[in-house]
Amino acid sequence: MSLAGEDYSLKYLDFVDLTYKPKESDLICTFLVEPQGISLKEAAGGVAAESSVGTWTELTTEKPYVKRLAAHVYSIEGSEVKIAYPAELFEAANMPNILSSVAGNVFGLKALKNLRLLDLEFPKQLLASFKGPAFGIAGIRKLLKIPKRPLVGTIIKPKLGLETKDHAKVAYEAWLGGCDIVKDDENLSSQKFNPFETRLTQTLESREKAQAETGERKVYMINITAETDTMLKRAQTVVDQGGEYVMVDILTCGWSSLQTLRNQNLKLVIHAHRAGHAAFTKNPTHGIAMKPVATVARVIGVDQLHVGTVVGKMSETKAEVIENIDACKTQMGDLRPVLPVASGGLHPRLIPSLMETFGNNFVIQAGGGIHGHPDGTVAGAKAMRQAVDATLERKTLEEYAKNHKELATALKQWKT
C-alpha cells in the first residue's frame, strides 16, 4: 500500500524488470534500499523512476519515446538493488549531472526509510568523456624513483598554527629522516600565520636541501583548496616554482572544481583528501559509500586518494577499506589506477598490519606517528622507514629494532 493513500505503486513497478539484461552502454548503480510503507519492489522501482524519467503520478506530458530512457531495476537480492541507467540519460563529461540523477533527490523520498549508494559502474562511453588520472601509480613511482616499496609520507603537525619558517623546518626534518612526501593538512590554506605563497617557496627550498643531503627524491603536497579561480592560480604557482604535487579537498571544493583543475592538464600529481566524507559514508544504511566516491574521483582524474586504514583512528572496517582500494585499482576502461593513501592515527607498530591489507602500492601518511616520536621528527621519520624495511625483509619489528634505535623508541612509545 502506498503512503498517504497515493496510488503510485504501479507507476513505480513499471521500472522493475528482473528479466532485463544490462547493456554495455548502461551505467549501473547498486543501492541498499530500506522501504517505508511500501514493498521493497515498489521502493526499488521508485528509486529507478525518480532517478530517471518517472515520477509519483500519471503525466499528461509523457510521450511514448521517453520510455526508452527509463532505468531498469534488474536485480533484487535481500535489500540490495541493482539499477541500470541508459547512458543517454547523462551528459558526457558532466559529473554533477550524473550524480544529481543517481545520487540526488532519491535520498529524500518519504517512501524510503534509508537508501545507500553502494557502487557505481560507468560504461566505456561515459568514462571516455573524462580525463582520469594523469599519473596514477606508475607515474608517481617514476616521479619519485621508488619502484616497489610503499611510499612514506607525513602531514605537518600541528595541522594549524605553525608559522611558515617552522612549517618548512618540520618538512625538512621529515624528509631528512626518510619521508618521501610531506603534505599540508586539510584545513591549512592561506591563513595569515602561514600564507600560501610564502609557505610554498620556503617549503620547496627545504625540499631542495633535503634532496641534496639524502640523494632521494622528495615531494611537497601543498593544499591548494579554495574558490576555483584561486585554486587554479595556486596550482599554476606550484608549477612555476618547480613543485610536482598539489593536494585538494575534493568533497568540500566540489566535483566541478576538481574537474576544472584536472582539465588544465598541468603537470601536477593530484592528491585527493576526502575531508567531510563521513557525513554521508559512515552510516551503514544511508548515504553514499566511500567506494563510489573513490570511483568518481578516479574518473575525474585524481592520482592518489585517502581510502581508510583498518588500523589507526578511523572507523572503516577492513572490508570497506579493501572495497575502496579496489575502486582505486580495478580495471576501469583505459583509466590509470589510483594510488591508495592510508592516513589517520598511524605509527610504526602498525606498519605490518597496514602492508598486509594494502600490499606495497600505497602511501603511508602519518602525522602524529612521526612528529610524536620522543626524539623528534627526524627520528620519527627514520622509525617509520625502518618499520617498512623490516616488513619488506620479513623481520619482526622487535627483531629489527635491536639494531635500529629510532624504531626501538617508537615501539616503546606506541604499544598498540
pLDDT reported for residue 54: 86
Reply yes or no on whether the pLDDT at 209 is more than 70.
yes
- 273 belongs to the catalytic site: yes
Reply yes or no on whether the pLDDT at 2 is more than 90.
no
Reply yes or no on whether the pLDDT at 360 is more than 80.
yes
pLDDT reported for residue 67: 86
Q: 61 falls in which pLDDT band (50, 70, 90)?
A: low
Mean pLDDT of the chain: 95
Cell of 99: 550524480
Q: Choosing from 11, 72, 218, 273, which is the catalytic residue?
A: 273
**Does CATH number 3.30.70.150 belong to domain 3-127?**
yes
Q: Domain 136-413, what fold?
A: TIM Barrel (3.20.20)
Q: Using H for helix, E for strand and C for coil, what is the string for 282-348?
A: CCCCCEECHHHHHHHHHHHCCCEEECCCCCCCCCCCHHHHHHHHHHHHCCCCCCCCCEEEEECCCCH
214 CA to centre of own chain: 31
The full set of domain ranges for the chain reads 3-127, 136-413
Q: 314 falls in which pLDDT band (50, 70, 90)?
A: confident
Reply yes or no on whether the pLDDT at 1 is more than 80.
no
Q: Choosing from 72, 157, 167, 218, which is the catalytic residue?
A: 157
**What is the residue whose three cell numbers read 603511508?**
364
- 157 belongs to the catalytic site: yes
Q: 4 falls in which pLDDT band (50, 70, 90)?
A: very low
Give the predicted TM-score (pTM) of the model. 0.95
Q: 62 falls in which pLDDT band (50, 70, 90)?
A: confident
* Mean pLDDT in residue range 22-26: 97
Q: 9 falls in which pLDDT band (50, 70, 90)?
A: very low
161 CA to centre of own chain: 26
Report the DSSP pairing between strands 27-35 and 80-85: antiparallel
The predicted-structure confidence for 234-250, as pLDDT tens digits, reads as follows: 999 999 999 999 999 99
